[in-house]
Amino acid sequence: AAAGHDRMQMARRLTTQASGTSAPLVPCPFPTVIIYNQSKHATQSVLADIRAVWGDSVRVVQTLEDGKQRLPNMDAALFVKPKSWGNMEHFAERLDWLCSQDHRLAADRANRKVVFMPGWSAFAESAEAAVAVEKLGLVWPGTEPKASQGLEKIGFKRICKDVGAPTPAFEVLSEEDTFVDLTDPAAKEKCVSGFMEAVAALKTSNPGLIKSIHGGGGKGTAHLDDPSSPDQVRAAVEKVLVEMNRSDGIYFEQKVNTKGDGRFYQLELEVDGTEVAQGGRFVWFNSRLQKVVEIGLSDDLVKLFMPPDLYQKSRQWAADIARKGGNNTRATMEGLVFKNEKGEFELQFIECNRRPQVENEALALLQRDSKGNRRYTFAELIMRASGVPAPVFADALDAKVVLHARWLHGNPDSNGNIAYQAGDILGMTGPRLDYVPAELMAPGEISFTSDPQLGKAVIVANSWDEMCDRAAEYFRLRKPKVVGAMSTYAQTMYNLFTNAEFRAGNVASNETFKKLDIPEYPERGIISMLQDQVAPVMVKGYRKGEGIDADRFPTSRVVDAVSSLHEALAQEPPRATAFTKFARGAATYEDYMASLREQLAQQGGGWVTVAPRDTSQQGNDSESASISEISRRNAEVWGEKAGCVGYEIGGAQYQAGLIRGFDPAMIMMLGLPYNMPGHSLQRSQYVNGLAELTPEVRQELFKSTAEIVANRYRPDIGVGGLLVPWQPYNFHAGNFCDATGYSPQDETTAELLGAKCVPMPCWVFSKKFTLEALKQWTNRQIDIFSKAGLTLQQVRIKNPGQGRDWTAANVWEHVQSVRSVFKERGLPPPIVYLHNHDFNGMGGHIGAELFRKAHADGFNTLVIDGAYRKNGTHNDNTVLTAPLSLSTEQRDALIEWNYNQQAIEEVLCRFDSRTSQMTPWDSDWAGGTEGSDIRIAKEYSLDVRKINHAKEIANEVFPLERAVTPFSEYKLRLGIAIMIEPGIEPKTADVVRKWVNGGGKLKVGGDVLVGLKRWETLVPKTPEVDKLLANMPDELEAALGQKAKLITPADLPSGLTTHQRHNALGYQQKGLEFATSQAKGTDLSPLLVAPHVLHSKPRSLKPGATFEVLLDPTDANTRAQVQFLGFGTAANQDVTMTFLHEGQSITISMQDPDAAKGATATSGPRKAEVGNPNHLPTVVPGELLSYAVNVGDKLKAGAQLCVLESMKMEMKISVPDSLDGKEVVTLPLKGRTKEKQGDLLAPGDLLIEVK
C-alpha cells in the first residue's frame, strides 16, 4: 500500500512537470537503474535509451555473472553466480552485499528510487518476479502482476473469446501452477497420458501446436501435424515437457490456415495501457519461430499485407483485449493474417507479450511528440513505472517504414536456423548511413553459450521499396568487425531484401528463407585464412618438391632477401608510360603503338622478360604463380627502366597454379603490369592440356577475360566499348590451315578481337613449315584485324624449344617474310617478337646477331624475349641486348633487374631442374618442363634419363609437329606409352612401326587419339597414324563423343563472379570446382603475394617476418598486412602461431603433424556422417552437460536424450522420430563435470550413434 501511495504521489508531481512534454524528456524519477539481463545486446539497448534521454544523470548498474566484464558506459556492476538467473533469493543476497559497500545504492533503494529493468520474456512477464522485485524495495517497471496473469497465453485466448476477437481453437491441458513431479516416472506418465486423452477428446486431425505459456523464441513449442495420432501427440507433449521441465500452463492450439495454403503474416500491434500505437509491425521468422526481422509500417502502408478494414478491426480488438485484461503498460498483441481456402482474409490473435521489446523501435520511430522528439522504448517504460501516463504522439513526417534488423553471427540454412560462429566483436565496419537512426553492437566474445543476438540496426524509409533498397545497401556496406570465423548472415539478409518475391510482399512470415538463395559458405576473413590456409603451410610446408634436390629448401638468406625486396619494390613507384594511359582508357591503342615504335627506334629494338613465367616453367616445374607479382613489380620498376617492353605471363602458370591450389584469375590479375603489357600465352582452343573448347565456350571465356583485365586497369569504365589492354599471343591454336581455309588460330583470333582484346598472332617456328605458308598466314592475320576495324601491328614468332635450326640466318628469313607481306599491303613495318628457349648457351648470342642483322637492314621494331644472366633456360639478356642503344642508366637498371630476378627465383630451389641432363642441347621442344617430366617418369617407374629418347621416337613415328596445341603432351604421352609397352623391344622407331602395323595398341588417352585423328599440323601424316587409329576404333569413338562433357555458359550456376566464370570456362570442371574450394578456404590463393612464407621450410619462418594476405578473390588490392610473432606449443602439444594484424594479436593452433602416430588425443568432437541415418548430428551449438541415455538403451521418440547449454540456457534435446526404437551404440561426447567443461559442439558434430 505504501509503495502504491508513493507511486501515485510521484505520478502527480511528474505529470505536472511534464506539462505536455513527452515522458522521456522530463527528469528521470529514478537516479539508479539496475539492468537484470544476461543478454549483452538487450542490456546495451536499455543502456542506450537511458544515455540518449538522460545522459550520465542516471546511474546504471549491470547485473552479470562472476568473472564477466561489464559493458562500456556502465557505472557499476552487481555480480551473481553463473547460471543463477531467475533465482531471486540469490539476487537478494548479492544486492544486500552490494548495498553494504555502495551507500548511494543503499540510499536510493531505501527511498524506492531504484528501478529494476527485467530481462527475458518469461521473467519479464512473470507475476512472481514482479512481486519478488517489489519485496526487495525495487520498482518493477513491467505489467502489474494481476494484469500479467490475466494476459498470459491461456488467459489471453480466453479474453479474446470474451471480447469477440478471433483466436485459433485451443484446449487447455493444464492450468498455470498445476505442477507434476516430472522426476517421478509414474507421475510423468500419468501427466502425459492425461494430456493425450485431452487432445484425443478434441476429435480433430487438423494440425496444431502443443505450447507452454512459459516458453518463447521457439522453446516450449512442438508441432503436431496429426492430433489424431497418439504417437505424434506423445512425442509433441514429451518434447515440451523435456524442454520446459514443468507441466503447468500447457495447451493445444490449432494452426491457422490449415485448409488454405498454410501461409500467414504475423502482425504485431503495440498498446500502451489501452491506447493502440500507430502502425503495424510485421515479423518474419524461421521454422523454429525465432524472429529474424521486424518491419513497422504506417497505417496507410499496412494494406501491402492485409485489407485496411481488417487492419482497423484488429486495432479495435487489440484495444478491447487490453481493456479487458487491465493492461497498464506497453504490451504487444500478436496476430496471424492469412487468406483462407475461400480466398478471404482472416486474422487470428495468438498471444500478448506483456513487456517492452527491443524491436519496439520498429513502431516507435513512426511517431513523434508535439516537439518532434522520437520515442525511446525503455526510457518510456521507466517513466511509466513512476506513474506518468502514456505521452501523446503524432505520425512522424520522415518515416513511414521502420526496419528493426537483428545482427546475428552465423550461417542460416534454408529454414533460417543459424549455426552460430565463435569469435570476438570489436565493433562495426563500413560507412555511416544517415537512414540508420540506431545501431548497436555488443562488443566482446561470441561463444556458443552467449546471446545469439549481437546487436541491431534500425533503418527508416518512406516506402517499402525504399526500405528494401536501404536494407540491402546496409547489409552490403556495414558489417561487424569480427576476430574469428566469418558468417553468411549479412549476405543472407542482403539476399532477402533484394529478393523479388519479398520486395513484392509475397513472402509470408512462415516462409522467410524458402525462396532465398542461401550462401553455402561465409565470406572469409583474416582469422579464417590464417587458420585454414596460412598455418598449415607454415607447419607442414607447401607441396612436395619436384626438382633435382627436392629437399633443398631456401635458406634464411634467400627468404630474407625476397621479403626485403618485396618491401623495397613496394616503396619504389614505377614510371607511367603510354601503355599506362592506354590501359586506363586515357589514350588510344594507336597512341600506345606510336610511342612503342618511337622507343624501339631509339633503342634499336627491345626485349620482353620471360622471367619468371617461362624460366620457372622450364626450370622450376611451372612454379611461377607465387612469384609473379613480385617479379611484375621488378619489371615495372627496373625492367621498364632497362628498355623492357613486355612482361610474359599466363599459360602453364595459370594451369599449374590451379592444380596446386591457386586462383588462375587472380594469378592473371597479379601479372598485369602498370606500364607495359602482360604478354600471355592464350589457351584459346585447348585448356587443361588436351580438352578442346567450342566457339560457344571460347567466346564467353574471352569476354570474361576482357572484363577482368579491363576492370583491373579501369574499374570505373570496364570494357566500355574500348580496346582492352590484353595482348595474348595466340599460340596454342597452331599454324594449321586446311584446304577449305579453316584455321583454329584464325578463328580464335577473330573471337578475341570480338571481345575487344588485341591478340598477338603467333607463328610457330620450324624449318618444316615453308616460308610461303608463313606469308599466307601473315596475310590472313592482316585481314582478320582489318575486318575488326584494326591495323595489325604486332606478330610473334615462337620457337617452343631451340634446336639446330634456330639460327640467326633461318630466323631472319622468317622475319623478312613477314616484313615483305606488310610492305606489299602498304602497312607500317611490323613489330616482330621472337621467343625461344636456350639449351646450349647460344640463345642470347643468336638473338644479338638477329639485332645486328635488323640494324643493318634498317629494321628497328624487333623485340626478343630474354631473362636474367645465367638463368639456364632462356636468352641471357646481357648478351641479347648488347647491340641495342641502351643508355648507361638503362644498362645499370638491367643489372639491377637481373640481380633482383635471380634472388626472387632462388626461393623456388626445391623445384629447380635447370641443371638436369634430360633435355639434349639441340632439342627443338622444351617438352613442358623438366620438373614435370621428372615427376611423370617417377609415377610410371621409368628411368628419367630415357624420357626424352621416348619422346623423340614418338615424334619420329607420329610427327605431330610443333604447330599443334598440345604437341608436348601428345609427344610425352605417346613416348610413355611406348616405354611401358612390353611388346615393343628394343625401344626404336622401327620396332614401334612394326608393333603398330601388326595391329598393336598403345596405352594413350582418348584426347591423344583425337589429336592424331584431326592431324592439324602442316607436316604430312605417316601411315602409322591411321593404322594406330584403326587398331583402336572403340577408344577413338569414345573419345570423339566426349565433347558433350564440356562445361558451357548454360551450365554455370547463377551468381558466379566474372572471375569464377573465367575459371570455369577456361579450365572446365577443375575451374568450376575451384569456386567451391575457394569458398571453403581449401585453396592457397591468399598466399600468392607471400612467396617467402609459401616456400619456407616448415616451422622456419623467423619471428618479425611480415607478409601480405589476399582477402578478396576479385580484388588484388584488398589485402591484410600481417606480422608473424613466433611459433609455440600449446598445453595439448598443438603447434601455435601468433600473428599481429591491425594491432590485434591472433593466435592460431593446429595439431602437430610430427606427433606420434599412436597418439589418441583428438582436437574435438567428430562430425556426423552426412546421410548416415544412424548418426545424429548436433543442430544447436553449445556445451554438453549430460546424456539422459546409456549405451544399449532403446530410444523412444520425444524422450529426453541429453542436455546442452546453449545461448545462456540449458536446452534439453529430445529423441527425434527418426531414432525411435533404435539402440544406442556410442555416446561420443564428454559431459560437464565439477572439474572439466563438457565438449563444445558445433552444428554437424556427432551427438549419438545408434543401430
Residue-wise pLDDT tens digits, 1018-1034:
788 999 999 999 999 98
pLDDT band for position 3 (cuts 50, 70, 90): very low
Cβ atoms of 505 and 305 closer than 8 Å: yes
pLDDT digits (tens, 9 = 90+) for 659-687: 999 999 999 999 999 999 998 876 555 54
Taking the alpha carbons of 230, 236, 239, 241 in that order, is the dihedral positive or negative?
A: negative
pLDDT digits (tens, 9 = 90+) for 489-510: 999 999 999 999 999 999 999 9
Closest to 847 in 3D by CA, of 823, 867, 822, 820: 867
Cβ atoms of 413 and 470 closer than 8 Å: no
Cβ atoms of 236 and 1198 closer than 8 Å: yes
H helices of 258-373, where? 308-325, 361-364
Residue 300's CB: how many other CB atoms inside 10 A? 10
Closest to 698 in 3D by CA, of 1182, 1061, 388, 222: 1061
Number of Cα atoms under 13 Å in the Cβ half of residue 663: 32
pTM: 0.74
Residue with cell 551450365: 1051
b/e for 646-667, b at 16 or more Cβ within 10 A?
Answer: bbbbbbbbbbbbbbbbbbbbbb
pLDDT at 42 over 80: yes
Taking the alpha carbons of 435, 440, 446, 452 in that order, is the dihedral positive or negative?
A: negative
| Highest mean pLDDT (candidates 32-36, 168-172, 1019-1023, 1053-1057) | 32-36
pLDDT digits (tens, 9 = 90+) for 903-920: 999 999 999 988 877 777
pLDDT digits (tens, 9 = 90+) for 217-263: 677 889 999 999 999 999 999 999 998 889 998 999 999 888 888 89
Per-residue pLDDT at 354: 76
pLDDT band for position 899 (cuts 50, 70, 90): very high
pLDDT at 16 over 50: no
The residue that leads in pLDDT, 955 or 673, is 673
pLDDT digits (tens, 9 = 90+) for 826-868: 999 999 999 999 988 999 999 999 999 999 999 999 999 999 9
Per-residue pLDDT at 930: 59
Q: 315-319, 441-445, 1066-1070, 1074-1078 — which is least confidently predicted? A: 441-445
Rounded to 5 degrees, φ, ψ at 185 are: -55, -40
% of the chain surpassing 70 pLDDT: 91
Cis geometry, peptide bond prior to residue 664 (ω within 30 degrees of 0): no
What amino acid occupies position 592? Y
Q: Which residues contact 365 (CB under 8 A, 6 or more apart)?
A: 296, 374, 375, 396, 399, 402, 437, 458, 460
Please report which helix (H) or strand (E) contains residue 145, including its range.
Answer: helix 145-150
What amino acid occupies position 737? C
Mean pLDDT of the chain: 88
Secondary structure of residue 774 in the 3-state scheme = helix
pLDDT at 926 over 80: no
| Highest mean pLDDT (candidates 785-794, 801-810, 942-951, 1207-1216) | 785-794
Closest to 1208 in 3D by CA, of 45, 63, 60: 63
Cβ atoms of 209 and 255 closer than 8 Å: yes
Q: Which residues contact 883 (CB under 8 A, 6 or more apart)?
A: 604, 605, 848, 851, 852, 855
Cβ atoms of 1163 and 1151 closer than 8 Å: yes
The residue that leads in pLDDT, 301 or 934, is 301
Closest to 635 in 3D by CA, of 927, 898, 983, 1008: 898
Taking the alpha carbons of 1074, 1079, 1084, 1088 in that order, is the dihedral positive or negative?
A: positive
| Mean pLDDT value of segment 1007-1012 | 83
